[in-house]
Amino acid sequence: MPLLLTEPDRYHQLLAEKQQRVSAFFDGLTIPTPTTFESPPEFYRMRAEFRLWHEGNDCFYAMFAPEDRKTPIRIDEFPVASQAMNELMPKVLAALNSSELLRLKCFQVEFISTLSGEMLVTLIYHKPLDDDWLAAGTALAETLGCQLIGRSRKQKIVIGNDYVTEQLTADKRDFKYLQYEGSFTQPNAIVNQKMISWACQQAAGIAGGDLLELYCGNGNFTLPLAKYFNKVLATEISKVSIKALLQNCEINGVDNIEVARMSAEEVSEAIRGVREFRRLREIDLASYNLSTVFVDPPRAGLDDFTREMVADYDNILYISCNPETMARDLKQLSETHEIKQFAFFDQFPYTHHMECGAVMRGI
């Protein structure tokens, strides 16, 4: 990840400027006044990765400015990251600097934390990891009280678990999520709770029926939204995310969700009857009364086929990490739907990135 400087004293000013820039993408659309959900100005990020830079027998965390990817900038503290991560970072670095075995050819360190302070650390190497490394890594994990993973080419050694368990409070309910190393999760847990609560509030205003969710990930939105629908058909292409979603359903006692490992385009083809898929052989699509669709697509937004399919639904809940592609999609969807609610979620303070949410109803 690129170097990011925090300016807590200017947070609200910078957020207002970002809102103005992002709003310009939606010029020409009729949208309600957006509701804005702020982030804490510091200690908000639950994930981070650093290059490990070596100078002689010493090493340090390094990041790079976007305009210069070759000159390392030493990182001794990182107020963007959670308090737990800031507390653990120097301990990991001290351990690496005191052990040639752990330090040698380690080139990247990744951290995942939770609101409760649970930590997972991944050390990535340009060398095979042997039994000596396993012994040293096991001792390190015990000393630090964290989960630890060692990675090298075609190797993944897990000491403890390869996930953390996050507990989020949203929609006045608590949810537990297994968050696996190497899979996508929302990085700003505080804002994520606000996003989930907002989505549930919008779903509460929709009259029943069933929900289709595309790009469901580990069930971040799926589990809380399931309360507001009779059944949920959730789709995702990542095997790790689907594994986490199924486990998260069990942990949280949610039993009205069916999961299909399919891309958004494939789901569109199946629902429209263009193709049949063996992966859907145990799911009775005809039994669903799908009146609402929830989408949280990647930065590219909706593909043409999916955008046309989404337009068939009475209600569209749309969360986006890319306002530019979202604006493109909403302009086409506005031919058949009216934007009833709109929101900004500042997942990424001090950057140009802004998450947006929209609720659309068929005209």
Helix (H, G, I), strand (E, B) or coil at 98: helix
Q: In the chain, what's the furthest Cα-to-Cα distance?
A: 67
CB atoms inside a 10 Å sphere around CB 32: 12
Please state which of the ranges 130-134, 203-207, 277-281 shows the lowest mean pLDDT.
Answer: 277-281
Query: With 90 as the cut, is the pLDDT of residue 317 above it?
Result: yes
- Cβ atoms of 163 and 122 within 8 Å: the answer is no
CB atoms inside a 10 Å sphere around CB 183: 18
Q: Quick one: average pLDDT of 234-246?
A: 94
Residue 264: what pLDDT?
A: 81
Residue 2: what pLDDT?
A: 56
Task: State the catalytic residues.
Answer: 321, 355
Pick the CATH number of 8-41+188-362 from 1.10.4190.10, 3.40.50.150, 1.10.10.60, 1.10.3720.10: 3.40.50.150
Q: What are the pLDDT digits (tens) for 91-112?
A: 999 999 999 999 999 999 999 9
Q: Quick one: average pLDDT of 135-152?
A: 98
Query: With 60 as the cut, is the pLDDT of residue 202 above it?
Result: yes
Structural fold of domain 47-164: OB fold (Dihydrolipoamide Acetyltransferase, E2P) (2.40.50)
Residue 283: what pLDDT?
A: 85
Residue spans in the chain of domains classed CATH 2.40.50.1070 = 47-164
Residue spans in the chain of domains classed CATH 3.40.50.150 = 8-41+188-362
- pLDDT band per the 50, 70, 90 thresholds, residue 279: confident
Q: What are the pLDDT digits (tens) for 107-140?
A: 999 999 999 999 999 999 999 999 999 999 999 9
